[in-house]
Amino acid sequence: MSLPYDSPPRRKLPIGVQTFREIRNDGCYYVDKTAWIQRLMEGGKHYFLSRPRRFGKSLLLDTIKELFEGHEALFRGLAIHENWDWNVRRQVVRLSFGSGEYEDPDYVRDEMTEQLEAIETQAAVNAGHHRASIRFRQLLRALHERSGRRVAVLIDEYDKPITDVLDAPEVARSNRSFLRSIYSVIKDCDAHIKFTLFIGVSKFSKVSLFSGLNNLKDITLDPRYSAICGYTEADLDTVFAPELPGLDRDEIRRWYNGYCWLGDEKVYNPFDVLLLFDTRRFRAHWFETGSPKFLIDTLRRRHVASPDLDGMTGTEALLSAFDVDEMATEALLFQTGYLTVVDEEDRDGAIRYRLGYPNQEVRQSLNEYLLMALLPDASQRLARESSLRELLAANDFAGLEALFRAIFAGIPYQWHVKNDIQEYEGYYASVIYSYFAAQGLDLVAEDTSSTGRADMTLRLNGHMYVFEFKTVEKEATGEAMRQLREKGYADKYGHLGRPVHLIGVEFSKEDRNVAAFEVERTA
C-alpha cells in the first residue's frame, strides 16, 4: 500500500518492553502518552485505572516514575516536555504485584516486605518495622521529611494477589485483607503524598479494597482518559506508518481495533499491533498470552449461552461489581477485555452500556475455547469445522443439517448426564453459535428488528442467513420456522437486494439432537 506522505524510518518494535528509559534510549517506537499524564497531574491527586492485560499499564507507570524523578532528557520531543518543571524532583514509591506465588498465604506479605526493604535501601532511610502497613507509613513520612517534597506512589497490578487465586477463595480473602491494610495507608498519609495511581486488570469496589480512600478518582470509564493506554487509528497511521506497507489496513482494524472506554475513538491492544508488525501475520497474539479457563468455567457454571455474550448490558455499577464473593458475569468479561463497550444509552439519567466483542481476534478465539468446553472430542470437532464453510458456500442445507446432527450425535451420553444439559436449553444454540464464530464468520447474535430478535444472523458470500433455535421435548413442532415467518425477520434485509435464507432449527431434549431443520429462501 502507498502512504500519503514520506514515512519516517523503521524503528525497533518494543515487544515486551515495559521500561520507558529502554524504549527512549534504544530508538524504539513510542506512542506519546504524556499529554494524558499531564491531564492527570492537573485534574486530581489519587487515581485508579483498570485495563485488560498487555495494554501498556506498566509502561505508563514507568513513564510517570521517570517524570517525577526529573529525567528530562527522556522526554525531549514529547508533549509534556515544555510544560513540566524539571527543577522539581520527587521520591517515587513504586510497588508491583505483577508476579508471585500468591496461592501461598504468606507470599504477598513477604513480597511487600522485600519491596519496601529495597526502596529503603536505595533511599538510605530506615523505616523498618515487622508490620508491613506500619513500615509503609513510616517510609512515606521519612521520604517526605528528608526531601522536603511530597512523594509519588505508583502501584502496579494492585489486584493480582487476589485475581490469581480466585479459585481458592479463602486465600483470596486473606490476600485482600492484607492489601486493604496497605492501601489504607494512602489515606492516612495524604499529607505526605503528591500523587497516587493504582493500576490493574480488575476493578474491585472501594468498600472491599479501598475502604476510607474516598477521594480515589476512578478514570476507567472516563472519556478523557479512554486512550491513555492502547494505540489509536492515528497512532498506527503516523507512529507506525513504516510498518504498514504490505498489510491490509482494513484487516488490521477488523482483527485488532475495537476497545472502548467511552472515548471518541476505539483503541488497539498494543501487544497485538507489535506482534502483527513483527510476524506480519494475523493471529490471536493477545489472546494466546493468557488462559481464559477461569472465565470459561464460570460461564459454564452459570449456564451463560455463548450467543448471549455479544450484546450483554449493564450499568457502571454492575461493570464494577467484582470481588472474591461477588463477580457479575458482565464485569468479569468487561474487565478482562473479552467484551468492551459498544454503545451507551441514557435512560432518564440512568446510563446503561451495551457490551460486545471488541474485534475479530477475541470473538473467534473465545468461541474456540467455548467450543472446546462444550464439545469433548477434539478430533471430530476440528474435522467438522473444516466442512462448515464449504457447506455454506455451496448453500448445501441438507449437508448443513447432516453436520448439525453429526455434531450432537458425537457427544457421549455420559457427558450429557455430567453436564445436566436437559435443564440448559441454551446449550444447543451455544454449540452452533460457537462453531460459526470460531470460524471467523460474520455473525450477529440476537439480531434485533422492529418485530423481535432473530437468534442468529450470518452474512456470507452475498447471502443472508437468519436462524431461529427452539428446544422441544421430543417431536418437531415447526415453531422455529413459524416464528421466522410471522415475525418477518427477513424484512430487515430486503433493501440489501441479496438472497435471504430462513433456517428454523429445533432440538429434541429427549433425543439430544436435531428434531427439525427447515429452510426457506425469501429473496
**Closest by Cα among 114, 101, 111 to 168:** 101
User: What cell numbers appear for 413 in the block?
Assistant: 451420553
Counting beta carbons within 10 angstroms of the beta carbon of residue 247, is it exposed (0 to 12), middle (13 to 18) or buried (19 or more)? Answer: middle
**Closest by Cα among 310, 299, 467 to 371:** 299
Question: Do the domains 31-225 and 377-521 sit in the same CATH topology, yes or no?
Answer: no
Q: Is the dihedral angle over the CA atoms 227, 231, 237, 241 positive or is it negative?
A: positive
The DSSP output letter for 125 is: -
- Give, in order, the Cα–Cα distances in Å from 498 to each of 380, 446, 450, 459, 519: 33, 21, 20, 10, 16
- Give, in order, the Cα–Cα distances in Å from 395 to each of 266, 305, 436, 499: 36, 27, 15, 11
Are the C-beta atoms of 236 and 368 separated by less than 8 Å? no
Within 13 Å, how many C-alpha atoms sit on residue 63's CB side?
26
Are the C-beta atoms of 351 and 344 separated by less than 8 Å? yes
pLDDT of residue 420: 46
What is the CATH number assigned to the segment(s) 377-521?
3.40.1350
Cell 450429557 appears where? 416
Separation CA 464–CA 462 (nearest Å)? 7
Q: Is the dihedral angle over the CA atoms 360, 366, 369, 374 positive or is it negative?
A: negative
What top-level class would CATH report for the domain 31-225?
alpha beta
Separation CA 204–CA 28 (nearest Å)? 34
pLDDT of residue 417: 46
pLDDT of residue 376: 67
Separation CA 350–CA 469 (nearest Å)? 33
Cell 418485530 appears where? 451
**Closest by Cα among 413, 80, 55, 376 to 226:** 55
Cell 455474550 appears where? 309
Could you report how far apart the first and last alpha carbons of the chain are, in Å?
Answer: 38
Q: Give the chain's length.
A: 523
pLDDT of residue 415: 47
Are the C-beta atoms of 56 and 230 separated by less than 8 Å? yes
pLDDT of residue 7: 60
The pTM for the full model equals: 0.91
pLDDT of residue 380: 63
Give me the tens of pLDDT residue by residue for the chain, a chain 523 residues long. 444 445 678 999 999 999 999 999 999 999 999 999 999 999 889 999 999 999 999 999 999 999 999 999 999 999 999 999 999 999 999 999 998 899 998 999 999 999 999 999 998 888 667 799 999 999 999 999 999 999 999 999 999 999 999 889 999 999 999 999 999 999 999 999 999 999 999 988 666 788 767 788 999 999 999 999 999 999 999 999 999 999 999 999 999 999 999 988 899 999 999 999 999 999 999 999 998 988 998 998 888 889 999 989 988 888 877 788 778 899 999 999 999 999 988 887 788 999 999 999 999 999 999 988 887 666 666 666 668 888 998 999 999 999 999 888 877 654 444 454 444 567 888 889 999 999 999 999 888 877 788 999 999 999 999 999 999 998 999 999 999 999 998 888 877 788 999 999 999 988 889 999 999 998 6
Separation CA 195–CA 69 (nearest Å)? 13
Are the C-beta atoms of 391 and 399 separated by less than 8 Å? yes
What residue ranges do the domains of the chain occupy?
31-225, 290-356, 377-521
Cβ neighbours of 210 (radius 10 Å): 22
